C-alpha cells in the first residue's frame, strides 16, 4: 500500500510545519515531497541536530533527505531567483537532490512584487502581506494573463514580450524583467520543469510514499480563512486537488500542525491576542516569534490558543492527527489561558530531552486533552524543541 500524508498548518501559518514535513518524510522514507500552494510568502525552517537551521520558501523541506524527490505543484507561484538559490542550497545539503516543477505553476515577476507593495501602501487596502507579489500573481492567473514556468522552455522572445506588456499595460509598472534574466531562468530551471501531477500520481499508483507539504495555514485559506486577511490560495489539505493535481482521497493520513498558542503576522481580527506585553514577550522571545521575510521583517502577534478557530480548522481540515508544537515555550508560563474555557498552570520543567510519552508532565497531557476535546481530533505527534529529533510520536496512546 502506498504511504501518503498531507501536513498543513492549522491556524495562520508558522506553526512549525517544516519540521513535521521533514520528520514524516524521514519516518515514511518518502519517495516524493510535494509543495502545493502559496509561494515565497512562506518560510519553512528545519534544524537537524548539531547543524544550523535552514529556511526554505519554495522547496519542500523533505527534499533535504537523500532519496526524496522534490515536486513543486501547479498551484504554487514561483519567484525564479529564489527557486534558483534554494536549489543550490539543497544541493549543498543533499548531493542527490532532484526536483520536478509542474510546468503549469505561475511565475512571480518584479512588477507583481511592485504591485503588492503599492497596494499595501494604499490607504484602506492593507492586509499586511509579505509583499512577495503573491496576490497579484494569483490575480493574473485567475484573469488568464499570467506567465507560467513552462513558458521558460518555449520561445523566450515571445515570453519577454508578454512579460513586458503585462508590466506596462496591466501593472502600470516600469519594472520590467530583462531578457538576460529570462534567459538565465530558462538556463537554470528548464531541466527541472515537467508534469508534476503525472509524476506524483505515478509514484502513488506504484505504491510509493508521498508527503504533501502545506504552506501558510488553514485560517489563511482564501475561502475559509479570515477574509480579507488571508492569502490567495487554498491552504487546506483538499488544496492538493487543485494545487498538485492529486485526488485528496489518495492520501492516507492528514496531519494538522497546531502551535500551543496562536500567532499572526499581518492585519486582521485576532480575538485571543495577548495584550499583556509582559506575557506576550515571554512567548515571543522563547518561541523566537519573529518573521524574517524576503521583503519584510516583523515581530509576530501573540495570542492564546483560540478554541473557535481550532474548531473551524478541524472541521474544514478534517485532520486524522494533530501535531502540537511549542509546548516547551508555553509551559514556561505560570498560567496558561484558553479563552472561553479557563486557565491551567504551566509545567515548570525542561521537557527538551524527553523522548518517551511516559515521561511527559501531567499538566502538558491535560493541555493535549483539552485540545482534543475542542477539536474532536486526536493528537498524534508533539514537539518539545526546535530540532527535528525533538519530535515524539504519541499515536500509541490510542492503542492502549
> Hey, which residues are catalytic here?
14, 44
Find the part of the chain contacting Mg ion (CB under 5 A) among 41-49, 228-236, 306-314, 370-378: 41-49
Give yes or no for a contact between 30 and 56, defined as CB atoms under 8 angstroms apart.
no
Residue 60's binding partner, choosing from ligand IMP, Mg ion, none, with beta-carbon cut-off 5 to 8 A by kind? none
Q: How far is the CB of 289 from ligand IMP (least distance, A)?
A: 11
Judged by CB, which is closer to Mg ion: 288, or 343?
A: 288
As a whole number of angstroms, the distance between CA 317 and CA 352 comes to 29
As a whole number of angstroms, the distance between CA 400 and CA 398 comes to 6
Judged by CB, which is closer to Mg ion: 89, or 318?
A: 89
Interacting residues with ligand IMP (CB under 6 A): 12-14, 41-43, 127-130, 132, 134-135, 216, 220, 229, 231-232, 265-266
Q: Is 194 in the site for Mg ion (CB under 5 A)?
A: no
Judged by CB, which is closer to Mg ion: 4, or 61?
A: 61
Residue 3's binding partner, choosing from Mg ion, ligand IMP, none, with beta-carbon cut-off 5 to 8 A by kind? none
Judged by CB, which is closer to Mg ion: 43, or 339?
A: 43
Tell me the helix, strand and coil percentages in the chain, rounded to 5: 40, 20, 40
Q: How far is the CB of 47 from Mg ion (least distance, A)?
A: 14
Residue 137's binding partner, choosing from Mg ion, ligand IMP, none, with beta-carbon cut-off 5 to 8 A by kind? none
* Residues 56-75 within binding reach of Mg ion (CB under 5 A): none
Closest CA to 313 of 216, 381, 219, 212: 219
Q: Which three cell numbers stand for residue 279?
A: 506575557
Residue 170 gets which letter from DSSP? I
CA angle at 366 for the pair 362 and 371, rounded to the nearest 5° = 145
Q: Is 43 in the site for Mg ion (CB under 5 A)?
A: yes
Q: How far is the CB of 268 from ligand IMP (least distance, A)?
A: 6
Give yes or no for a contact between 221 and 234, defined as CB atoms under 8 angstroms apart.
yes
Q: How far is the CB of 14 from ligand IMP (least distance, A)?
A: 5
Q: How far is the CB of 386 from ligand IMP (least distance, A)?
A: 17
Residue 70's binding partner, choosing from Mg ion, ligand IMP, none, with beta-carbon cut-off 5 to 8 A by kind? none
- Give the dihedral of Cα atoms 346, 351, 352, 358; nearest 10 deg: -140
Q: Which of 14, 79, 151, 289 binds Mg ion (CB under 5 A)?
A: 14
Residue 220's binding partner, choosing from Mg ion, ligand IMP, none, with beta-carbon cut-off 5 to 8 A by kind? ligand IMP
Q: Which three cell numbers stand for residue 361?
A: 508532565
Give yes or no for a contact between 14 and 300, defined as CB atoms under 8 angstroms apart.
yes
Q: How far is the CB of 233 from ligand IMP (least distance, A)?
A: 8
Annotate 363-393 with b (16+ C-beta within 10 A) or e (fewer).
ebbebbebbbebbebbbbbbbbbbbbebbbe
Phi, psi (degrees; rounded to nearest 5) at 195: -100, 90
As a whole number of angstroms, the distance between CA 216 and CA 239 comes to 12
Judged by CB, which is closer to ligand IMP: 53, or 349?
A: 53
**Binding site residues, Mg ion, CB under 5 A:** 14, 43
Amino acid at each position: 500500500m502506498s504511504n501518503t500524508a498531507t501536513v498543513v498548518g492549522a491556524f495562520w501559518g508558522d506553526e512549525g510545519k517544516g519540521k513535521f514535513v521533514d520528520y514524516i518524510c524521514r519516518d515514511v522514507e518518502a519517495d516524493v515531497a510535494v509543495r502545493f500552494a502559496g509561494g515565497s510568502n512562506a518560510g519553512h525552517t528545519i534544524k537537524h541536530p548539531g547543524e544550523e537551521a535552514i529556511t526554505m520558501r519554495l522547496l519542500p523541506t523533505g527534499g533535504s533527505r537523500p532519496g526524496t524527490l522534490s515536486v513543486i505543484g501547479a498551484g504554487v507561484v514561483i519567484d525564479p531567483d529564489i527557486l534558483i538559490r534554494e536549489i543550490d542550497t539543497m544541493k549543498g545539503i543533499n548531493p542527490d537532490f532532484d526536483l520536478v516543477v509542474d510546468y503549469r505553476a505561475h511565475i512571480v515577476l518584479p512588477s507583481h512584487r511592485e504591485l503588492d507593495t503599492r497596494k499595501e501602501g494604499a490607504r484602506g487596502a492593507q492586509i499586511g502581506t509579505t509583499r512577495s507579489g503573491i496576490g497579484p500573481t494569483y490575480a493574473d492567473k485567475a484573469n488568464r494573463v499570467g506567465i507560467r514556468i513552462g513558458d521558460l522552455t518555449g520561445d523566450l522572445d515571445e515570453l519577454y514580450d508578454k512579460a513586458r506588456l503585462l508590466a506596462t499595460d496591466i501593472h502600470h509598472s516600469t519594472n520590467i524583467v530583462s531578457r538576460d534574466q529570462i534567459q538565465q531562468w530558462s538556463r537554470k530551471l528548464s531541466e527541472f520543469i515537467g508534469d508534476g501531477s503525472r509524476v506524483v500520481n505515478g509514484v502513488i499508483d506504484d505504491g510509493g510514499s508521498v508527503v504533501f507539504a502545506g504552506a501558510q495555514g488553514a485560517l489563511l485559506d482564501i475561502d475559509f480563512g479570515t477574509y480579507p486577511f488571508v492569502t490567495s490560495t487554498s491552504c487546506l489539505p483538499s488544496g492538493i486537488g487543485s494545487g498538485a493535481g492529486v485526488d485528496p482521497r489518495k492520501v492516507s493520513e492528514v496531519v494538522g500542525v497546531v502551535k500551543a498558542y496562536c500567532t499572526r503576522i499581518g492585519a486582521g481580527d485576532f480575538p485571543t491576542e495577548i495584550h499583556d506585553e509582559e506575557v506576550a514577550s515571554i512567548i515571543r522571545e522563547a518561541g523566537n516569534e519573529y518573521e524574517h521575510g524576503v521583503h519584510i521583517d516583523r515581530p509576530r502577534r501573540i495570542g492564546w490558543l483560540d478554541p473557535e478557530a481550532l474548531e473551524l480548522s478541524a472541521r474544514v481540515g478534517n485532520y486524522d492527527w494533530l501535531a502540537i508544537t511549542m509546548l516547551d515555550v508555553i509551559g514556561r508560563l505560570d498560567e496558561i489561558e484558553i479563552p472561553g474555557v479557563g486557565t491551567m498552570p504551566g509545567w515548570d520543567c525542561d521537557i527538551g530531552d524527553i523522548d518517551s510519552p511516559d515521561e511527559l508532565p501531567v499538566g502538558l497531557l491535560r493541555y493535549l486533552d483539552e485540545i482534543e476535546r475542542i477539536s474532536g481530533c486526536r493528537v498524534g505527534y508533539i514537539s518539545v524543541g526546535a530540532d527535528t529529533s525533538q519530535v515524539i510520536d504519541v499515536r500509541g496512546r490510542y492503542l492502549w
